[in-house]
Structure 1
């Protein structure tokens, strides 16, 4: 292994990834496993997690799974306990689980508001709070929050989603101030629309995607692997000086 590869290596690091049943979370698991990490994948769909585990095993990677709904307090706390039982510690936490319930603020139900906040904001806090003591003890750790450009800029019909991701961005910075003295980096990735299966379903109609892409200098949406590659950088020693950052991956949308 050459020197530059060592800087970007996460071999044998234990990485817990939430929202791993599909989309960005599943892609991060595959990229991390390919980079040598010992992946613990958690999500609500046990069948999809098992398929992911098989795919990673087929490529020679290491993956264990924890089916759970971290939108529930017991579910999130249970993932912390089970991950520590499995591996003894977690070196890298990726909070990728999330929900995007959209609609006019005047018609938005409080049930949908609470569900959004529980999964997008409360769960990342519970997992970080539960795993940080081990990271502090070993004087090393990485916490990566998958946020959104909507936590930085405004979009109509996204009041709950934007508030949850804006809160996640603020949580990222707050945790950074507490954990940085212990050599723990806490950062957030803020993507544009990503062409997961759900992203393609929601954003394929030209009447919806057209105006958004017209306001994006690069003129396209993101692919899951592009978010996973940024997560790999933030998980590696190459990013040790990057702390409290909101990494915008959105084709320049927020710059104009």
Structure 2
């Protein structure tokens, strides 16, 4: 299915690793011009070697002023993927202020800031656009030691709906993708314990974790005009986890 992404300019945060990196690679392969945002210079350097023409931006999105400086003049962007996130897992009674501050700064506040930058430019140019926020099944199900992470993703789901409501009249669509555990290198490392993995897999009707391409395919669909009547949605990519 032709998605019509060629020639469009996309910005992807958290582009150095995992879902973000694979999204950049897929957009590049589809002919899009991509701005890749990461806080790790080495990851960006290797990504540019893999995908010549990708524009790297190295910035820590938890820093509002640095983000404004780095992206304020990024130029016209048609498509945005808010993927950057942190997962600082602590038992509820041991949650620290630092974990709260960092998690909400990156997982929610940065989404607001980067989306404002892109949306304002789209509105000023009078052109349609699409934003995809990478949420999680953790936005809708309680997971042990995930109080802060679940809270940030629950907030992201509602932010997605309000953004869709307010930006819709400007022909800017906003959707979220809500994956289960994804077999990125980090996912493989965190879920390599068979007992821990079994407890989660037993709650997934399809009996498997997601591969990166499952998530990337959903992102590309929501960015494309093939989903032109879809906005304000939270799309599970979870093998049925949220049905149980």
User: In which range does the TM-score fall when normalised by the shorter chain?
Assistant: over 0.9
Residue in structure 1 matched with residue 112 of structure 2 by the alignment: 125
Tell which deviates more after alignment, 72-81 or 141-150: 72-81
Residue in structure 2 matched with residue 220 of structure 1 by the alignment: 208
For residues 77-133 of structure 1, give each alpha carbon's deviation from its aligned partner in whole angstroms, at most 9, with x where no partner exists. Answer: 23321422xxxx110010000001112010011101110000000000001111112
C-alpha separation in 1, matches of 2:99 and 2:66: 18
Residue in structure 1 matched with residue 127 of structure 2 by the alignment: 139
State the secondary structure of the residue aligned to 1:83.
Answer: coil
For residues 114-173 of structure 1, give each alpha carbon's deviation from its aligned partner in whole angstroms, at most 9, with x where no partner exists. Answer: 100000000000011111122123230111100001011111111100010011111100
Residue in structure 1 matched with residue 230 of structure 2 by the alignment: 242
Residue in structure 2 matched with residue 113 of structure 1 by the alignment: 100
C-alpha separation in 1, matches of 2:239 and 2:221: 18
Q: Is the 8 A contact 1:94 1:144 kept in 2?
A: yes
State the secondary structure of the residue aligned to 1:47.
Answer: helix
Correspondence 1:77 to 2:68: yes
Correspondence 1:67 to 2:58: yes
Tell which deviates more after alignment, 69-78 or 110-119: 69-78
- Picking from 173, 176, 181, the partner of 1:188 is 176
TM-score (norm 1): 0.93
Tell which deviates more after alignment, 150-159 or 130-139: 130-139
Q: Is the 8 A contact 1:20 1:97 kept in 2?
A: yes
Residue in structure 1 matched with residue 9 of structure 2 by the alignment: 14
Correspondence 1:102 to 2:57: no
Q: Shift of the alpha carbon at 1:216?
A: 0.5
For residues 11-36 of structure 1, give each alpha carbon's deviation from its aligned partner in whole angstroms, at most 9, with x where no partner exists. Answer: 11110000001010000000011111
C-alpha separation in 2, matches of 1:79 and 1:145: 20
C-alpha separation in 2, matches of 1:228 and 1:215: 23
C-alpha separation in 2, matches of 1:27 and 1:155: 26
TM-score (norm 2): 0.97
Gaps spanning 5+ residues in structure 1: where?
A: none
C-alpha separation in 1, matches of 2:67 and 2:192: 33
C-alpha separation in 2, matches of 1:79 and 1:243: 28
Q: Is the 8 A contact 1:80 1:131 kept in 2?
A: no
How large is the Cα RMSD of the aligned pairs? Answer: 1.0
Number of residue pairs the alignment of both structures matches: 243
Gaps spanning 5+ residues in structure 2: where?
A: none
C-alpha separation in 2, matches of 1:138 and 1:16: 18
The answer to which structure has the higher helix fraction is 1
C-alpha separation in 1, matches of 2:121 and 2:177: 23
